[in-house]
Structure 1
C-alpha cells in the first residue's frame, strides 16, 4: 500500500495477492516441515537468520507470516511475532525480556492471566514485580528504580476500563532506562496507536476483536525488527506456542472487517452505556466513551475509538447474575469479549482480589469502591443497539 493509504484501506487491501495461484486471499499452508537445501538452514534456533526459508512450523509458516506482516502494518511497527494465544504472547514477551534480579512495573489491574503470571511464576524465577496504578504517574515515578527493565501497561484495562497515558508512561520509562509494553487488545489499532505514542512493544489478544468471530485463538507482539527477531528466536521457538495456519487464516479474515466492526461496536456500546447510566438499578457504568468516565479527557486525547467493552455495577450481585443468565434472550452469559455476539459475565470483587489482583489496604478499598460487590463485564456485539438495550431493559426490570 502507499504511505498515504488510510488505516481502513490497509485493513482491507493490505493483504497481498497470493503469488503462486494469484488468489485474492492467503492460502492456508497446512505444513509443519518444508524442503530446504543442505546447509541452507541451521538445525538450532541459535543459527536462525532474520531472512531464511521456511523450515519448521514452530519457527514460522507462510500463512502466519502474512498475518504478522499485516498486524505490523496496522500498528505501524517494523515487524510482529504471532503466538497461539494472547496469553502466550504476553508470557513470551515477559519471559524473554525479564530474568532473575530484574524489576518490572505491572498494572495492578490487568488481564487476570498476566497478573497471576507476574505474581506467581515470574516472582518464583527471581523477577521483582511492583504492581502499580499506571494511571497515577506519580506512583509510577516512585516505583521506578535502577533495575527496572520493563513497564507493562494495559489500556483500556480489563475489567475496570481504566486508562493509562501511553505517551507519559513512555517518557517516564525511557528516562529510567526501561522499555514500555502496552496491551492494546481492547482498543485495537483503530482505537489506540501505542508505538506512535512512544511504546516499545504493543500486544494484542487476537482472539478478541481482531478475529471478531469467536472461532480462533491467537496473540501478537509488534515492535522493532531486531527486537521481534530476538523474540522469535527465543520465546516463540523455545516456548513452542506457535499459531496454527488455520487460526491465522481466520484472523486474517477478521482483519478485513475490523475497522467497520469497531465503529459498530463503539456505536452499540455507547448506546448501551448511556441506557445503563439512566437505569435506577445501576449504580455505576465504566466506559471510556462516556463523559462521566474519570479519564474522559485522556480518552478524547488518545483514543480514536472507545471500543465495545464496558462494565457496570448493579444491585444484586450474584443473584442478579443468575437472573440475567436466565432472562437475557439476545445477550449471552459467557466469558471473553470482542465477538460478534454480545456477552455478559459477572466478576465478583472478592474473587478478583483473592485470585488475580494483589491489592491490599487502601488500594483494595479503592477497588471495592469502584467495583462494589462485583463488575458486570459487557462486551457489546454487532446486534442492533436498540435491541441490545431492550434485552437489558426486560432482564433488569
Structure 2
C-alpha cells in the first residue's frame, strides 16, 4: 500500500528522456488518473474493480500518445494475438456501468473498516492510504479522489493462526484476487526473506484484504467474530 508521487516521478522521467507507465489497478481510474498527473501510459487490470464481479479477464493500456497506441494495438493484436474474447468484453462492459457507484461504496466501507482495525488490540499495523496514520496520506489526498478498496494489516499471530482466522470468516471470502463485489482476504506467508526485507511488524501475520460491497458493519462483525474464534 505504498504511494508514489506520480507527478514528481513523471517530471524526473521526462527530464531524463524516459517514459512513465503506471499500473493503476489498485487505485482504479475512479480514484486516480495518472495521465492527468503526467504519466505517459496507464495499465489497468479490467478483471478487478472495473469489471467488479470476478468473472472476466481483461486488461487495458491507455495513453494520450495516439501514435504509440496505434503501434501497441497493432503489435499486440496483430503480431501477438492478444485479443479479448467477445464474452469477456461484454462482461466487462456490463460491469463498468456500475463502476462509479461501486467504487464510492468501496471507498467509504474501506475507510470505516481500516479505522476499526486500527483499534484492535492484536492488530500490529493497518496500511491504508485513507488513514491519517499512513506515511503518505497527504500525498494520497493530493493525487487521489478516493483511497480504494485494498487494506493491508498485520495480526499478532503465527501463520497457522492467521489462516484459521481467515477460514473462520463467513461474510468475507478466503480467496486471492481483489476488486470483486465480494470481500476477499488472503494471508501472505511469512517467508524467511521477509525477515531481511521488512520491519518486524511486517514479518508475520501479514494479510491483504479487498473490501467488497457488503454492508461495512456486517464485515466488521464478521472480522470481530473471527478474531474471537482464534483467541485474538
TM interval, short-chain normalised = over 0.9
CA distance in 1, matches of 2:191, 2:211: 25
Who is 2:137 aligned against? 296
CA distance in 1, matches of 2:205, 2:76: 36
Who is 2:162 aligned against? 321
Residue pair 2:159, 2:190 contacting (<8 A) in 1 also: no
Paired residue secondary structure (1:221): strand
Report 1:195-234 matches (<5 A).
Answer: 195-223=35-63, 224-234=65-75
TM-score normalised over the length of structure 1: 0.55
Structure 2 CA distance for partners of 1:370 and 1:179, relative to 1, 3 Å:
farther
Who is 1:265 aligned against? 106
Paired residue secondary structure (2:20): strand
Who is 2:149 aligned against? 308
Q: CA deviation at 1:366?
A: 5.1
Structure 2: 5+ residue runs without aligned partners?
none
Q: Alignment partner for residue 181 of structure 1, among 12, 18, 21?
A: 21
* 4+ runs deviating over 6 angstroms: none
Structure 2 CA distance for partners of 1:374 and 1:325, relative to 1, 3 Å:
closer
Q: CA deviation at 1:369?
A: 3.8
Who is 1:84 aligned against? none
CA distance in 2, matches of 1:194, 1:366: 28
Q: Mean alpha-carbon deviation: is it higher for 366-375 or for 283-292? A: 366-375
Structure 2 CA distance for partners of 1:171 and 1:349, relative to 1, 3 Å:
farther
Paired residue secondary structure (1:195): helix
Show CA shifts across 1:197-240 (max 9, x none): 11000010111000000100011100121111110122332232
CA distance in 2, matches of 1:320, 1:229: 51
Who is 2:173 aligned against? 332
Who is 2:95 aligned against? 254
Residue pair 2:156, 2:205 contacting (<8 A) in 1 also: no
Paired residue secondary structure (1:189): helix
CA distance in 2, matches of 1:259, 1:282: 31
Who is 1:141 aligned against? none
CA distance in 2, matches of 1:209, 1:256: 12
Residues 1:367 and 2:198 are matched in the alignment: yes
CA distance in 2, matches of 1:370, 1:234: 45
Residues 1:379 and 2:196 are matched in the alignment: no
Q: CA deviation at 1:324?
A: 2.1
Paired residue secondary structure (1:190): helix
Q: Give the aligned CA root-mean-square deviation in angstroms.
A: 1.5
Paired residue secondary structure (1:391): helix
Q: Highest Rg: 1 or 2?
A: 1
Show CA shifts across 1:276-314 (max 9, x none): 100001010000010000101101101101011101011
Paired residue secondary structure (2:131): coil
Report 1:1-397 matches (<5 A).
Answer: 161-223=1-63, 224-350=65-191, 353=193, 365=196, 367-369=198-200, 371-397=202-228
Structure 1: 5+ residue runs without aligned partners?
1-160, 355-363
Residue pair 1:321, 1:345 contacting (<8 A) in 2 also: no
CA distance in 1, matches of 2:123, 2:75: 48
Residue pair 2:181, 2:212 contacting (<8 A) in 1 also: yes
> Higher relative contact order by CA 8 Å / sep ≥ 6: 1 or 2?
2
Q: CA deviation at 1:189?
A: 1.0
* Alignment size in residue pairs: 227
